[in-house]
Structure 1
Amino acid sequence: MGNVGLLYVGAVLLVNGLMLLGRVPARAAAPLNLFVGGLQCVTPTVLIIQAGGQQNAILAASGLYLFGFTYLYVGIANLAGLPPEGLGWFSLFVAGAAVVYAGISFWHDHDPVFGVIWLCWALLWALFFLVLGLGVERLTRFTGWTVVLFSLPTCAVPAFLGLTGGYHPGAGAALIAAVAAVVLLAAATLLSKRFPVREPAVSTT
Structure 2
Amino acid sequence: MSDTKLRDAICRLARSLYDRGLAHGSTGNISTRTEDGGLLVTPTGSSFGWLDPERISCFDAEGRHIAGDAPTKEMPLHAAFYDTRGTRAGAVVHLHCHHAVALSTLPDTDHDNALPPYTPYSIMQLGRVKILPYFQPGDPAMGEAVRSLDGQRSAVILANHGPVVTAGTLEKAVYAMEELEETARLAITLTDRRAAMLDAAQIASLIQTFNID
Compute the TM-score of the two structures, normalised by the length of structure 2. Answer: 0.31
Higher helix share: 1
Compute the TM-score of the two structures, normalised by the length of structure 1. Answer: 0.31
> Of the two structures, which has the highest relative contact order with CA contacts closer than 8 Å and spacing of 6 or more?
1
